[in-house]
């Protein structure tokens, strides 16, 4: 799998809930054509009384499901002391929106040799996202993938406001690949397909979406999870669209504008 050289789809449950749940999801998304498997083991929840994830046990289940299906895995890391063991368990480490400016975490991720998926903070400017990437890259790890996942605005109809313009601006300012997470932005499963297609059409390098075998009983983000059937339908729609976008214009890109000399593009992959 290479991110930055084709449209990549990352799918899986918000949280790993059990061996069985992640296994079933992995099989389903693999079948439908996903390229990577996501699943949270450490969950940053607004309330201390919400489900906080299975921790190391969750990572084991995720790795097993990834191996069974041949899908590389991605999972969220929440603090510097988790970096070492997560780098052993997963193929790409994710920095969540709430940690985009957790600088000790970013620095620690700059010292490993695994790709990092850096999500934009809910109120982070494009400039700040690039500077956060620079924390990782300047420490030596050049394998950074950026992710637009919606920003916080006055509009409450959607969970966040997906800022697809950011994809366009980022593709101009940096060589790093840029993917889109429509699930967290929309907050409603039925709005994900049109936004995923829009992400493809505006030049994103991929999407990350939440899929759950039984959304109604999901332990987190139940409303925004696609069913396996819904995900399959999305993949078909994306396939049709991808053809029309195939002759994609080469994006003119240069170094970004705030002295981020290191944020140079190279395909991130395995």
Please say which residue, 36 or 192, places its beta carbon nearer to a second copy: 192
Q: Interaction with a second copy in 35-64: which residues (CB under 8 A)?
A: 44-49
In the complex, minimum distance from the CB of residue 68 to a second copy, in angstroms, rounded to a whole number: 31
For residues 129 and 37, give the distance between their C-alpha atoms in angstroms, rounded to a whole number: 24
Alpha carbon 22 to its chain's center: 17
Interface pick for a second copy out of 4, 40, 203, 215 (rule CB under 8 A): 203
Interface pick for a second copy out of 56, 67, 85, 152 (rule CB under 8 A): 152
Contact status: 216 vs a second copy (CB under 8 A): no
Interface pick for a second copy out of 31, 79, 267, 270 (rule CB under 8 A): 79
- Using CB under 8 A as the criterion, what x/- string covers residues 125-144 for binding a second copy? xxxx--xx-xx--xx-----
Interface pick for a second copy out of 12, 13, 66, 121 (rule CB under 8 A): 121
Contact status: 250 vs a second copy (CB under 8 A): no
Contact status: 189 vs a second copy (CB under 8 A): no
Number of H helices, E strands in the chain: 9, 10
3-state class (DSSP) for residue 4: coil
Closest CA to 181 of 60, 52, 110, 95: 95
Q: Which range, of 16-24, 57-65, 155-163, 217-225, touches a second copy by CB under 8 A?
A: 155-163
Contact status: 245 vs a second copy (CB under 8 A): yes
- Provide CB contacts within 8 A for 106, sequence distance 6+: 95, 118, 132, 135, 136
Residue 220 near residue 50, CB atoms below 8 Å? yes
Q: Where are the alpha helices (DSSP H) in the chain?
A: 19-32, 56-69, 83-89, 103-109, 126-137, 164-173, 182-186, 192-201, 228-246
Q: DSSP state, 154?
A: S
Backbone angles phi, psi at 74, to 5 degrees: -140, 140
Residues that bind a second copy (CB under 8 A): 44-49, 78-81, 98-99, 101-105, 107, 121-123, 125-128, 131-132, 134-135, 138-139, 151-158, 161-169, 172, 185-186, 190-191, 194-195, 197-203, 240-241, 243-245, 247, 258-259
């Amino acid at each position: 799998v290479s991110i930055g050289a084709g449209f990549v789809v990352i799918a899986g449950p918000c949280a790993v809930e059990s061996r069985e749940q992640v296994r079933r999801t992995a099989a389903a998304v693999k079948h439908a054509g996903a390229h990577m498997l996501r699943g949270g083991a450490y969950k940053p929840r607004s309330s201390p009384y919400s489900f906080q994830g299975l921790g190391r046990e969750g990572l084991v289940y995720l790795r097993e499901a990834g191996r069974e299906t041949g899908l590389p895995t991605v999972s969220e890391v929440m603090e510097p002391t988790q970096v070492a063991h997560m780098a052993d368990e997963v193929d790409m480490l994710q920095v969540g929106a709430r940690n985009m400016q957790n600088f000790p975490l970013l620095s620690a991720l700059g010292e490993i040799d695994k790709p990092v998926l850096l999500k934009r903070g809910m109120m982070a400017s494009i400039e700040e996202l690039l500077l956060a990437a620079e924390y990782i890259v300047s420490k030596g790890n050049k394998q950074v993938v950026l992710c637009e996942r919606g920003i916080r605005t006055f509009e409450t109809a959607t969970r966040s406001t997906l800022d697809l313009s950011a994809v366009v601006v980022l593709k101009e300012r940096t060589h790093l690949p840029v993917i889109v997470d429509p699930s967290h932005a929309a907050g409603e499963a039925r709005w994900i397909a049109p936004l995923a297609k829009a992400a493809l059409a505006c030049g994103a390098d991929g999407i990350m979406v939440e899929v759950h075998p039984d959304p109604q009983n999901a332990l987190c983000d139940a409303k925004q999870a696609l069913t396996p059937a819904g995900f399959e339908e999305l993949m078909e729609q994306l396939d049709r669209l991808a053809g029309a976008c195939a002759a994609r214009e080469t994006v003119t890109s240069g170094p970004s504008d705030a002295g981020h000399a290191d944020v140079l593009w190279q395909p991130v992959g395995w």
